[in-house]
């Protein structure tokens, strides 16, 4: 009898101990805070699906840098053109503003720097142009008109045509090309620089095209009289026709 009583008491005490242990374990688990270093931080920016990425705006920083680079290249090109040194034989396109409308056509036009380095302009005559840059000559022309009290506030724009520093040869020459212009370049010189005539060239009817006008030159005669060799201007074109016999 006492054995049954003993085991009943022991079983009761064991169950009570297990219930207490479970209660204590639950309290510890509930009140204990996990260290932050082991917690996974949630993503602040949700991942975008491929379709969502396509709708995102362009990176403005990269776009602005790209535009700035383009503007830098363009400005450098403009400054290079403005700083180009002019020389005898260069053709200049002059445009004037800030003057009466009827005066614009009188002054605006294409002018050539002569062999002495001057450009001859309406109302003010010759102005030194060779060895000056475009911007320097522009200021000199504006000053010339204001100092002589011809115009109060003129605005001059200068430009050099693409063909200004070359003479073109074509037709029956051995090497048709753009011949770099020099102040002493002549018709015979340009033909020689192009390799001379071919065997089929009509040397008696060489065509010189200048500002819309055509001049026929007999090169055979010019060789006999070198003083008749024509001095060329920037933008001139020489065409050598083919002989029919």
164-206 pLDDT per residue, tens:
578 999 999 999 999 988 878 999 999 999 999 999 999 999 9
CATH number at residue 174: 3.10.560.10
185 and 154 belong to one structural domain: no
Range ranked top by mean pLDDT from 28-32, 82-86, 227-231: 227-231
CB count in 10 Å sphere of residue 93: 14
* Residue where one domain finishes, among candidates 130, 159, 188: 159
| Domain boundary pick from 159, 174, 190 | 159
Q: Which residue has the higher pLDDT, 119 or 46?
A: 119
Residue 208 and residue 236 in one domain: yes
Is 98 among the domain residues?
A: yes
E-only strand ranges, the chain:
91-97, 109-112, 118-121, 125-128, 155-159, 166-171, 178-180, 206-210, 213-217, 237-240
- Work out the widest C-alpha separation in the chain, in whole angstroms: 159
Regarding whether 225 and 175 lie in a shared domain, the answer is yes
Residue 141 buriedness (CB in 10 A; 0-12 / 13-18 / 19+):
buried
- 25 is a domain residue: no
d(CA 234, CA 114): 11
Total number of domains constituting the chain: 2
Which structural domain range is residue 177 located in? 166-240
Shared domain for 146 and 170, answered yes or no, is no
For the chain, percent of residues with pLDDT exceeding 90:
42
CATH number at residue 139: 3.30.1950.10
Domain edge (last residue) among 134, 159, 184: 159
């Amino acid at each position: 009898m006492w054995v049954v009583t003993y085991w009943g008491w022991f079983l009761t005490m064991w169950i009570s101990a297990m219930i207490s242990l479970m209660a204590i374990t639950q309290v510890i688990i509930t009140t204990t805070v996990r260290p932050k270093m082991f917690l996974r931080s949630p993503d602040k920016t949700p991942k975008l699906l491929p379709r969502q990425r396509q709708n995102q705006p362009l990176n403005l920083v990269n776009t602005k840098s790209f535009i700035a680079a383009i503007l830098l290249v363009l400005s450098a090109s403009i400054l290079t053109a403005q700083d180009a040194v002019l020389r005898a034989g260069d053709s200049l396109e002059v445009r004037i503003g800030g003057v009466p409308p009827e005066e614009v056509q009188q002054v605006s036009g294409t002018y050539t720097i002569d062999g002495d380095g001057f450009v001859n302009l309406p109302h003010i005559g010759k102005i030194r142009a060779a060895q000056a840059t475009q911007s320097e000559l522009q200021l000199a022309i504006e000053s010339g008109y204001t100092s002589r009290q011809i115009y109060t506030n003129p605005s001059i724009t200068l430009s050099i045509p693409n063909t200004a520093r070359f003479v073109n040869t074509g037709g029956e020459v051995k090497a048709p090309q753009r011949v770099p212009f020099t102040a002493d370049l002549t018709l015979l010189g340009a033909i020689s620089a192009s390799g001379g005539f071919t065997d089929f060239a009509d040397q008696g009817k060489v065509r010189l095209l200048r500002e819309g006008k055509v001049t026929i030159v007999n090169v055979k005669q010019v060789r006999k009289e070198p003083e008749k060799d024509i001095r060329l201007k920037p933008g001139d074109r020489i065409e050598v026709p083919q002989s029919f016999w």
